[in-house]
Amino acid sequence: MNEHIRELLYRSFDTELSEEEQMLLDRALSGSPELRAERDQVGSMRKAVNRTAAESFSLGFAGRVLQRLPSGEPRRSNAEQIMLSMRRMFRWVAAVGVPACVILLIWNLRTGTAQRTESAEDLWETPVEMMLENGQ
């Protein structure tokens, strides 16, 4: 089959041919059963595509596409996710721990039960002396 005739056939689906081109295509179609079969096959495929496109691009198509897209936040690696969760946990512990330490310090200073420095040193030296006596 002549490539020029085939080009005319495909163009005839999309644009209007000139009178001369249309007459040439009609003569070729009347003389070639293969060309008529190709025209019928292309025509049926185009109809099927148009029908499918009309169904799939119905109202709300853009919204459905946007819902399937991932959120704008980039995906983080496992290490980044662990660091973020540790940072959140540290903030919570710091928010609770610092006031608790301040309250305990104030309570200890007000009640007067604070350890003297000498007695704190005695607590450290006693286990060391015991270890030396036992030969460890």
Interval 42-57: pLDDT, tens: 999 888 887 776 666 6
Contacts of 6 (CB under 8 A, 6+ apart): 35, 38
Report which residue type is found at 52. Answer: T
At 103 the three-state DSSP class reads: helix
Return mean pLDDT, the chain.
80
Contacts of 52 (CB under 8 A, 6+ apart): none
Q: How far is CA 52 from CA 48, 49, 67, 110, in A?
A: 6, 5, 21, 82
Q: Which residue has the higher pLDDT, 114 or 28?
A: 28
Count of C-beta atoms within a 10 Å radius of residue 8? 19
- Structure-token pair, residue 60: 């709300």
Rounded CA-CA distance 101/115 in Å is 16
Q: Is residue 24's pLDDT more than 70?
A: yes
